[in-house]
Amino acid sequence: MTEPDALEQMLRAPLALAPLPDLTERAASAGLLDVAYATLDSPLGALLLASTPRGLVRIAYLDDAGGEAAVLEDLATKVSPRVLAGASRLDEPRHELDQYFAGRRRRFGLRLDWALARGFARRVLEATARIPYGSVSSYKAIAAAAGSPRGFRAAGNALGANPLPIVVPCHRVLHASGGLGGYTGGLERKRTLLAVERRPPEPSDGTP
């Protein structure tokens, strides 16, 4: 075979494409990744999930938080500028949220990073995280559990700024009169989440 023939054969042969490198893992191993994020389509709309080595740090309703760019900018400012898309690092929280919405999970087993909540606000969220699935509490009770029985308005503000909705179930906090109160993602989402938890449980597959 002549050299031009060999060259023509090489050009006509299908290219063997090498798989793209996993930039997330390379960045992490090089110490260049502090926050990984991914999105999830849910019954409540598109969610952005972000995690750090300490755990899940953010869940955002994208249509309520100014869009993906705004959420990422906020993470870069308040947590770390080393933010990178990394779907594989959010596999566990995405899977658990899918199970929750399908009625197959009543308790999340995720590690949480409280970097976006401090002081009284963090105590409010930690008290909220202890409200059992299918139960509700009041702003006054949560304020008392956080150490300030008269701080129910401040508790409401902390819940309104909850960086981890759904997983830290601020939708389970109502007015003492039974009214819904507020919700960072809108009251329709709060109604939906409460309805999810009122449904009869799906057949157990060993999920908590």
Is-catalytic flag, 150?
A: no
Which of the following is catalytic: 35, 170, 173, 196? 170
Q: Is 67 left (phi over 0), alpha (psi -120 to 50) or beta?
A: left
Q: Which residues contact 123 (CB under 8 A, 6 or more apart)?
A: 145, 146, 147
Q: Which residues contact 44 (CB under 8 A, 6 or more apart)?
A: 61, 166, 185, 189, 192, 193
DSSP 108: -
Pairing of strands 173-174, 137-138: parallel
Report, as residue numbers or ranges, the catalytic residues.
Answer: 170
